Structure 1
């Protein structure tokens, strides 16, 4: 429960910051985060495929 409260507080702080940031900065930051998450997902998928065969 404490984790959920902390996550919601962090989420609120981030959304509050984004609301005051310029749109171009928000778009660039969103693209960087999406790219990072995509690379992470591909690496995890690649690692799971190779670890399940050995």
Structure 2
């Protein structure tokens, strides 16, 4: 998720340390992604919804 959010221009991270652990940078970056998709209000807040998650195209590990 971290790498995809950076790739789509929604980097709100302060560090790349512990990028496999969900933290405040992930939440802020994901919310920026949801805003970029046109979501507003509570629809644009953490946690990810199916529509925005699918659009992000995070590779399965």
Q: TM-score, normalised by structure 2?
A: 0.29
Q: TM-score, normalised by structure 1?
A: 0.33
Greater relative contact order structure (CA < 8 Å, 6+ sep): 2
Say which structure is richer in helix: 1
Larger Rg: 1
